[in-house]
Amino acid sequence: MQKNTAIAGVDKRSLQWDDIRYFLELARTGSLSGSARRLGVEHSTVARRVEALEQSLGIRLFDRLPKAWSLTAEGETLVAQAGRLDDEVQAFSRVALGVSSLQGTVRLSAPPALAGHFLVPRLAAMRSRWQNIDLEVIGESRDANLARGEADLAIRMSRPTAAGLAARGIGDMGYGLYAAHGYTRRAADAWEFLGYDDSLDQVPQQRWLTQVAGNRRFVFRSNDLTALLNATRVGLGIAVLPHFLAANDDALSLVPDPVCATVRKIWLVMHPDVKRSPRVRLLADLLVELVVEAQALLSGNVPG
Protein backbone atom coordinates (compact mmCIF):
# COMPACT_ATOMS: atom_id res chain seq x y z
CA MET A 1 0.00 0.00 0.00
CA GLN A 2 1.35 3.40 -0.95
CA LYS A 3 2.03 5.73 1.97
CA ASN A 4 0.34 9.10 1.64
CA THR A 5 2.29 11.11 4.25
CA ALA A 6 4.44 13.97 3.02
CA ILE A 7 7.61 12.68 4.68
CA ALA A 8 7.25 9.25 3.10
CA GLY A 9 7.53 10.90 -0.30
CA VAL A 10 10.86 12.61 0.38
CA ASP A 11 13.52 11.87 -2.19
CA LYS A 12 16.67 11.91 -0.09
CA ARG A 13 18.80 12.15 -3.20
CA SER A 14 17.21 15.50 -4.08
CA LEU A 15 18.01 17.12 -0.73
CA GLN A 16 20.78 19.70 -0.95
CA TRP A 17 22.70 21.01 2.06
CA ASP A 18 22.65 24.55 0.64
CA ASP A 19 18.85 24.47 0.56
CA ILE A 20 18.82 23.48 4.24
CA ARG A 21 21.31 26.26 5.00
CA TYR A 22 19.05 28.83 3.33
CA PHE A 23 16.06 27.46 5.26
CA LEU A 24 17.94 27.78 8.54
CA GLU A 25 19.06 31.35 7.88
CA LEU A 26 15.55 32.42 6.89
CA ALA A 27 14.18 30.79 10.03
CA ARG A 28 16.71 32.72 12.12
CA THR A 29 16.09 36.13 10.55
CA GLY A 30 12.41 35.83 9.61
CA SER A 31 12.83 37.90 6.45
CA LEU A 32 14.11 37.38 2.92
CA SER A 33 16.09 40.62 2.97
CA GLY A 34 17.75 39.88 6.33
CA SER A 35 18.77 36.35 5.38
CA ALA A 36 19.95 37.51 1.95
CA ARG A 37 22.28 40.05 3.59
CA ARG A 38 23.67 37.40 5.92
CA LEU A 39 24.23 34.97 3.06
CA GLY A 40 25.51 37.54 0.57
CA VAL A 41 22.92 36.74 -2.12
CA GLU A 42 19.78 38.25 -3.64
CA HIS A 43 16.54 37.76 -1.72
CA SER A 44 15.09 35.94 -4.72
CA THR A 45 17.82 33.32 -4.34
CA VAL A 46 16.78 32.68 -0.73
CA ALA A 47 13.14 32.28 -1.75
CA ARG A 48 14.03 29.95 -4.62
CA ARG A 49 16.25 27.69 -2.49
CA VAL A 50 13.70 27.45 0.31
CA GLU A 51 10.95 26.63 -2.16
CA ALA A 52 13.18 23.93 -3.67
CA LEU A 53 13.58 22.40 -0.21
CA GLU A 54 9.84 22.50 0.37
CA GLN A 55 9.27 20.70 -2.91
CA SER A 56 11.89 18.07 -2.06
CA LEU A 57 10.28 17.44 1.33
CA GLY A 58 6.70 17.81 0.23
CA ILE A 59 6.19 20.13 3.22
CA ARG A 60 5.33 23.79 3.56
CA LEU A 61 8.00 25.22 5.86
CA PHE A 62 6.94 28.87 5.97
CA ASP A 63 3.79 30.92 5.87
CA ARG A 64 4.41 33.87 3.54
CA LEU A 65 3.25 36.95 5.43
CA PRO A 66 3.33 40.52 4.05
CA LYS A 67 6.40 41.57 6.07
CA ALA A 68 7.93 38.29 7.16
CA TRP A 69 8.17 34.56 6.57
CA SER A 70 6.83 32.67 9.59
CA LEU A 71 7.70 29.04 10.31
CA THR A 72 4.86 26.57 10.03
CA ALA A 73 4.48 23.83 12.65
CA GLU A 74 6.40 21.51 10.32
CA GLY A 75 9.13 24.11 9.89
CA GLU A 76 9.42 24.54 13.64
CA THR A 77 9.90 20.79 13.98
CA LEU A 78 12.72 20.71 11.42
CA VAL A 79 14.62 23.90 12.33
CA ALA A 80 16.33 22.38 15.38
CA GLN A 81 17.62 19.47 13.30
CA ALA A 82 18.79 21.90 10.63
CA GLY A 83 20.72 23.77 13.32
CA ARG A 84 22.44 20.55 14.38
CA LEU A 85 23.36 19.83 10.77
CA ASP A 86 24.82 23.32 10.48
CA ASP A 87 26.91 22.76 13.62
CA GLU A 88 28.26 19.52 12.14
CA VAL A 89 29.13 21.18 8.83
CA GLN A 90 30.97 23.99 10.62
CA ALA A 91 32.84 21.47 12.77
CA PHE A 92 33.81 19.55 9.62
CA SER A 93 35.13 22.77 8.06
CA ARG A 94 37.17 23.63 11.13
CA VAL A 95 38.72 20.17 11.30
CA ALA A 96 39.53 20.37 7.58
CA LEU A 97 41.25 23.70 8.22
CA GLY A 98 43.19 22.10 11.04
CA VAL A 99 44.86 19.58 8.70
CA SER A 100 45.60 22.15 6.00
CA SER A 101 48.94 23.61 4.99
CA LEU A 102 50.58 27.04 4.97
CA GLN A 103 48.74 27.76 1.73
CA GLY A 104 45.18 29.02 1.49
CA THR A 105 42.99 31.74 2.97
CA VAL A 106 42.87 33.10 6.51
CA ARG A 107 40.01 35.40 7.53
CA LEU A 108 40.65 37.93 10.27
CA SER A 109 37.88 39.93 11.95
CA ALA A 110 38.83 43.12 13.80
CA PRO A 111 37.37 46.52 14.75
CA PRO A 112 37.42 48.70 11.60
CA ALA A 113 39.81 51.46 12.72
CA LEU A 114 42.20 49.01 14.36
CA ALA A 115 42.14 46.85 11.24
CA GLY A 116 42.65 49.66 8.73
CA HIS A 117 45.01 51.99 10.58
CA PHE A 118 47.03 49.58 12.70
CA LEU A 119 46.90 45.93 11.65
CA VAL A 120 46.92 46.17 7.85
CA PRO A 121 50.03 48.40 7.48
CA ARG A 122 52.01 46.21 9.85
CA LEU A 123 50.85 42.94 8.31
CA ALA A 124 51.76 44.34 4.89
CA ALA A 125 55.28 45.03 6.14
CA MET A 126 55.48 41.34 7.11
CA ARG A 127 54.28 40.13 3.68
CA SER A 128 57.33 37.96 3.03
CA ARG A 129 56.46 35.87 6.09
CA TRP A 130 52.95 34.92 4.88
CA GLN A 131 53.52 35.05 1.13
CA ASN A 132 51.62 31.81 0.36
CA ILE A 133 48.55 32.85 2.33
CA ASP A 134 45.61 34.90 1.06
CA LEU A 135 44.51 37.18 3.88
CA GLU A 136 40.95 38.50 4.24
CA VAL A 137 40.57 41.29 6.82
CA ILE A 138 36.98 41.96 7.87
CA GLY A 139 36.57 45.30 9.59
CA GLU A 140 33.47 45.07 11.76
CA SER A 141 32.30 46.30 15.14
CA ARG A 142 30.18 43.22 15.79
CA ASP A 143 31.67 39.94 17.00
CA ALA A 144 32.11 37.50 14.13
CA ASN A 145 30.70 34.04 14.85
CA LEU A 146 33.86 31.92 14.84
CA ALA A 147 31.94 28.70 15.49
CA ARG A 148 30.07 29.22 12.21
CA GLY A 149 33.24 29.99 10.27
CA GLU A 150 32.61 33.72 9.72
CA ALA A 151 36.31 34.24 10.51
CA ASP A 152 39.29 32.13 11.51
CA LEU A 153 40.80 34.70 13.86
CA ALA A 154 39.36 37.72 15.63
CA ILE A 155 40.82 40.72 17.41
CA ARG A 156 38.41 41.94 20.05
CA MET A 157 38.38 44.65 22.70
CA SER A 158 36.60 42.55 25.29
CA ARG A 159 37.02 38.96 26.39
CA PRO A 160 34.57 36.71 24.52
CA THR A 161 31.67 35.28 26.48
CA ALA A 162 30.68 32.60 23.97
CA ALA A 163 31.52 29.10 25.11
CA GLY A 164 34.21 27.07 23.39
CA LEU A 165 36.46 29.89 22.15
CA ALA A 166 40.17 30.20 22.90
CA ALA A 167 41.12 33.76 23.90
CA ARG A 168 44.49 35.28 24.71
CA GLY A 169 45.23 38.80 25.90
CA ILE A 170 48.03 40.10 23.67
CA GLY A 171 48.31 43.79 24.56
CA ASP A 172 46.70 46.89 26.03
CA MET A 173 45.20 49.90 24.29
CA GLY A 174 45.28 53.33 25.90
CA TYR A 175 43.30 56.49 25.13
CA GLY A 176 43.74 60.22 25.44
CA LEU A 177 41.95 63.50 24.82
CA TYR A 178 42.94 64.90 21.43
CA ALA A 179 42.15 68.16 19.66
CA ALA A 180 43.32 70.07 16.60
CA HIS A 181 46.33 72.33 17.22
CA GLY A 182 45.30 75.50 19.00
CA TYR A 183 41.80 74.30 19.91
CA THR A 184 42.46 74.30 23.64
CA ARG A 185 43.52 77.96 23.62
CA ARG A 186 39.82 78.74 23.99
CA ALA A 187 38.36 78.74 27.50
CA ALA A 188 37.76 75.25 28.87
CA ASP A 189 34.08 75.97 29.47
CA ALA A 190 33.73 76.66 25.73
CA TRP A 191 35.14 73.31 24.67
CA GLU A 192 32.82 71.12 22.60
CA PHE A 193 33.06 67.37 22.36
CA LEU A 194 32.89 64.58 19.82
CA GLY A 195 31.78 61.11 20.89
CA TYR A 196 30.24 57.79 20.02
CA ASP A 197 26.54 57.53 19.29
CA ASP A 198 24.02 55.67 21.42
CA SER A 199 25.04 52.27 20.06
CA LEU A 200 28.47 52.62 21.73
CA ASP A 201 27.80 54.99 24.61
CA GLN A 202 28.59 52.30 27.20
CA VAL A 203 32.16 51.55 26.09
CA PRO A 204 34.60 52.57 28.85
CA GLN A 205 36.30 55.45 27.05
CA GLN A 206 32.95 57.03 26.11
CA ARG A 207 31.67 56.80 29.68
CA TRP A 208 34.83 58.56 30.84
CA LEU A 209 34.46 61.28 28.18
CA THR A 210 30.83 61.87 29.20
CA GLN A 211 32.00 62.54 32.75
CA VAL A 212 34.73 64.89 31.53
CA ALA A 213 32.33 66.84 29.32
CA GLY A 214 29.81 67.33 32.10
CA ASN A 215 27.31 69.95 30.94
CA ARG A 216 29.33 70.90 27.86
CA ARG A 217 27.91 69.99 24.45
CA PHE A 218 28.55 66.97 22.27
CA VAL A 219 28.29 68.60 18.85
CA PHE A 220 29.07 65.45 16.85
CA ARG A 221 28.51 61.74 17.41
CA SER A 222 29.26 58.72 15.29
CA ASN A 223 29.67 54.96 15.53
CA ASP A 224 32.73 55.29 13.26
CA LEU A 225 36.07 55.94 14.94
CA THR A 226 37.59 57.20 11.68
CA ALA A 227 34.80 59.77 11.41
CA LEU A 228 35.56 60.94 14.95
CA LEU A 229 39.25 61.17 14.07
CA ASN A 230 38.57 63.32 11.01
CA ALA A 231 36.12 65.54 12.88
CA THR A 232 38.80 66.15 15.50
CA ARG A 233 41.44 66.90 12.87
CA VAL A 234 39.39 69.70 11.33
CA GLY A 235 38.77 71.35 14.71
CA LEU A 236 35.16 70.41 15.30
CA GLY A 237 35.84 69.57 18.93
CA ILE A 238 37.68 67.36 21.41
CA ALA A 239 37.50 63.56 21.31
CA VAL A 240 38.88 60.64 23.24
CA LEU A 241 40.90 58.61 20.74
CA PRO A 242 43.17 55.58 20.96
CA HIS A 243 46.82 56.62 21.03
CA PHE A 244 47.73 54.41 18.07
CA LEU A 245 45.35 56.42 15.92
CA ALA A 246 46.13 59.95 17.09
CA ALA A 247 49.57 60.15 18.74
CA ASN A 248 51.51 60.49 15.47
CA ASP A 249 48.92 62.57 13.61
CA ASP A 250 50.50 65.92 12.70
CA ALA A 251 47.10 67.65 12.84
CA LEU A 252 46.41 66.68 16.46
CA SER A 253 47.68 67.52 19.91
CA LEU A 254 47.23 65.52 23.08
CA VAL A 255 45.26 67.43 25.73
CA PRO A 256 47.40 66.79 28.83
CA ASP A 257 44.68 67.33 31.43
CA PRO A 258 42.65 65.38 32.30
CA VAL A 259 44.53 62.15 31.67
CA CYS A 260 42.40 59.27 30.44
CA ALA A 261 43.03 56.25 32.66
CA THR A 262 40.99 53.90 30.45
CA VAL A 263 43.01 50.92 29.25
CA ARG A 264 41.40 48.15 27.24
CA LYS A 265 42.92 44.74 26.68
CA ILE A 266 43.35 43.47 23.15
CA TRP A 267 42.19 39.87 22.78
CA LEU A 268 43.18 37.39 20.09
CA VAL A 269 40.34 34.89 19.69
CA MET A 270 39.98 31.68 17.71
CA HIS A 271 38.02 28.45 17.79
CA PRO A 272 40.10 25.61 19.26
CA ASP A 273 39.52 23.48 16.16
CA VAL A 274 41.46 25.89 13.93
CA LYS A 275 44.49 26.11 16.21
CA ARG A 276 45.92 23.07 14.43
CA SER A 277 45.94 24.88 11.10
CA PRO A 278 49.53 25.93 10.22
CA ARG A 279 48.39 29.01 8.31
CA VAL A 280 46.06 30.18 11.09
CA ARG A 281 48.77 29.62 13.68
CA LEU A 282 51.24 31.58 11.56
CA LEU A 283 48.95 34.59 11.27
CA ALA A 284 48.10 34.37 14.97
CA ASP A 285 51.80 34.44 15.86
CA LEU A 286 52.39 37.43 13.56
CA LEU A 287 49.50 39.32 15.17
CA VAL A 288 50.92 38.71 18.63
CA GLU A 289 54.35 39.84 17.45
CA LEU A 290 53.20 43.10 15.88
CA VAL A 291 51.04 44.04 18.89
CA VAL A 292 53.93 43.37 21.28
CA GLU A 293 56.31 45.43 19.12
CA ALA A 294 53.90 48.38 19.03
CA GLN A 295 52.85 48.22 22.69
CA ALA A 296 54.49 51.54 23.52
CA LEU A 297 52.45 53.28 20.81
CA LEU A 298 49.26 51.46 21.79
CA SER A 299 49.62 52.49 25.42
CA GLY A 300 50.67 56.06 24.59
CA ASN A 301 54.03 55.88 26.36
CA VAL A 302 56.22 56.96 23.44
CA PRO A 303 55.68 57.84 19.78
CA GLY A 304 55.76 54.81 17.50
Domains of the chain: 7-89 (1.10.10.10), 98-172+264-296 (3.40.190.10), 173-263 (3.40.190.10)
Q: Do the Cβ atoms of 251 and 180 come closer than 8 Å?
A: yes
The pLDDT, as a whole number, for residue 297 is 95
Q: What is the pTM of this model?
A: 0.68
Q: Do the Cβ atoms of 157 and 111 come closer than 8 Å?
A: yes
What are the backbone dihedrals phi and psi of residue 185, each rounded to the nearest 5 degrees, phi first? -70, -20
Say how far apart CA 261 and CA 216 lie, in whole Å.
21
Whether the predicted pLDDT of 1 surpasses 50? no
3-class secondary structure, 154 = strand
Least confident of 85-89, 129-133, 148-152, 199-203: 85-89
The pLDDT, as a whole number, for residue 86 is 77
The pLDDT, as a whole number, for residue 277 is 85
Q: Average per-residue pLDDT in the chain? A: 87
